[in-house]
A and B are shown apart, each in its own frame.
Chain A
Amino acid sequence: MDFDKNIFINCPFDDEYFPLLKPLLYTVKKIGFNPRISLERNDSGEIRLHKIKELIESSKYSIHDLSRAKAKKEGEYFRQNMPFELGLDLGCRDYNKGKEFKDKKILILEEEKYSTQKALSDLSFADCKCHKGDAEELVYEVRNWFAENGHKKVPSASSIWDGYNVFYADLYEEKSKQGFKVKDINRLPIPEFMGYIDEKIK
């Protein structure tokens, strides 16, 4: 796959985050990029860390959403996978000699402004974008990041957001006709969901 078009997505994979992940995937594809995510394939025999490294090394761009790293209640561990994978990505960019890796572009998302800097002061240089846990806001931030990185003819955030709502209505209508219940539609596996986006936006 094309390194220049690949974008590594590092985020939580739970039911709580799926309402943000799905519009994120749609936005990336709508702008013409190829999201690479560890859920894109499921092989129980594959070592997860190897998979993550392969995704990072094959992607010029990456989006790291650190918004759900924080523990929500007393006694709960905070989630370290996302900051760890961000570290791997920064290492890949900074320690590799190849020019393609030096050109890597990284977007860090957070839910509350400056929350990342509070927990990860090594990243106090970073200009993180804040989505406030809101899907529409996330679409705006991701779209604008592509534009800030020099991409031309990026559709407006409003048109992407409206397009996503229409896309979801199409998905709902077609799958309902096939006998899918609402919970089946909302919990489609990510590869199937991404395949459906491809069908609709080609």
Chain B
Amino acid sequence: MAKKSSRPKPPSSPKRTHVVKRDSGWAVKKEGTKRATKVYTTKEQAVKGAEKSRKSGSDVVIHKKDGSIQKWVKSKK
């Protein structure tokens, strides 16, 4: 019988997608990735664009233009 590994599980990576101000637009960026998924002209478009991530189990954190939090939308999973 295979021996059970005693190695502790790594902490789960935060599943958060951020809507952040980027130059003259708004970016959707999954936490832990280097690049934004997409940069939109308006914040409204970016929030809509982040909806896909929410459906796939990620919280969506919508930031104000100063980086503080406007809204935190829990994942749908």
**Interface residue total, chain A, C-beta cutoff 8 A:** 20
Main secondary structure of the interface of B (DSSP, over half): strand
A164 cross-chain contacts in B, Cβ below 8 A:
67
Minimum CB–CB distance for A47 against chain B, Å: 33
Per-residue interface assignment for chain A, residues 158 to 184, with 1 indicating a CB less than 8 Å from any chain B CB and 0 otherwise: 100110111011001100000000100
Interface residues on B, range: 10 to 19
Per-residue interface assignment for chain B, residues 11 to 27, with 1 indicating a CB less than 8 Å from any chain A CB and 0 otherwise: 00000101011110000
Q: Is the CB of B63 within 8 A of A165?
A: yes
> Measured between alpha carbons, how far is A166 from B68 in the docked complex, in Å?
10
B38 at the interface (CB under 8 A from A): no
> Measured between alpha carbons, how far is A20 from B67 in the docked complex, in Å?
10
Contacts A134-B65, A135-B66; A165 near B72 (Cβ below 8 A): no
Minimum CB–CB distance for B56 against chain A, Å: 18
B29 at the interface (CB under 8 A from A): yes
A168 cross-chain contacts in B, Cβ below 8 A:
63, 67-69
A19 at the interface (CB under 8 A from B): yes
A35 at the interface (CB under 8 A from B): no
A22 at the interface (CB under 8 A from B): yes
Sample (26) of A-B pairs whose CB atoms are under 8 Å apart: A19-B66, A19-B67, A20-B66, A22-B66, A22-B67, A23-B67, A136-B21, A136-B23, A158-B22, A161-B20, A161-B67, A162-B20, A165-B18, A165-B61, A168-B67, A168-B68, A168-B69, A169-B18, A169-B61, A169-B63, A172-B61, A172-B68, A172-B69, A172-B72, A182-B69, A186-B68
A-side interface residues toward B, CB under 8 Å?
19-20, 22-23, 134-136, 158, 161-162, 164-166, 168-169, 172-173, 182, 185-186
